Amino acid sequence: MVQNGDPGKPVIANGQTYFALQTRRQELRDDEAFARLTEDEKRLAIRNELAAHNKHLAAAARDAGVETPLDYAIFQDHGHKGLYGGKAAKDIHAIKGLKKSQKILDHMGSTELAANLFRATQTDDKLRRDLVRGKQQAKQTHFEVGKKVRQTIAELGGTMPEALPTPKESIKQLERDRKKKVKE
């Protein structure tokens, strides 16, 4: 009620300020907690978040006209090509020394996963916001968003995703190790 009230009324303005401060305090606590995580814990957290966001992206792509599994694979590849400087999924597999059956996202460090998470969330938002329709336009949108994320990384002086190191353990291995520890 307070959130949608008239901020011109002192009691409403005070309530809105209170909720804004509480939200910011929680964000800071979350940031501190994330900073204390190990690299592997960060990888697991971001990978799980990316898995959830990829479901939203798949729904947005489907709404835009990306219908079949093959269409979706091609759509995803356009996002990779944008973010990885023209490199397709098969190229990224080769760079990382992965087998065809291995998932690229399971063999990324936290920085690379975060870049892909940003690409996925921004593509999802853009597809919906711009009411993108048609497979071709959806693929082009995913490519452009990936390219823009890459450009931002370059402007910040960051390492390009394909040049980041591939962790020794996959996400699947980390999850197995975590389950073993829980059982012990």
Q: Give the pLDDT of residue 2.
A: 47
Contact 63, 71 (CB under 8 A): no
Rounded Cα distance between 105 and 122, Å, is: 17
Q: Give the pLDDT of residue 123.
A: 96
pLDDT band at 152 (very low <50, low <70, confident <90, very high): very high
| Cα within 13 Å of Cα(138), Cβ side | 26
Rounded Cα distance between 23 and 88, Å, is: 40
Residue identified by tokens 């490519």 is 143
| Cα within 13 Å of Cα(103), Cβ side | 12
Rounded Cα distance between 78 and 157, Å, is: 24
pLDDT tens, residue by residue, 49-79: 999 999 999 999 999 999 999 999 999 999 9
Residue ranges per structural domain of the chain = 1-36, 39-183
Q: Give the three-class secondary structure for 33.
A: helix
Contact 146, 82 (CB under 8 A): yes
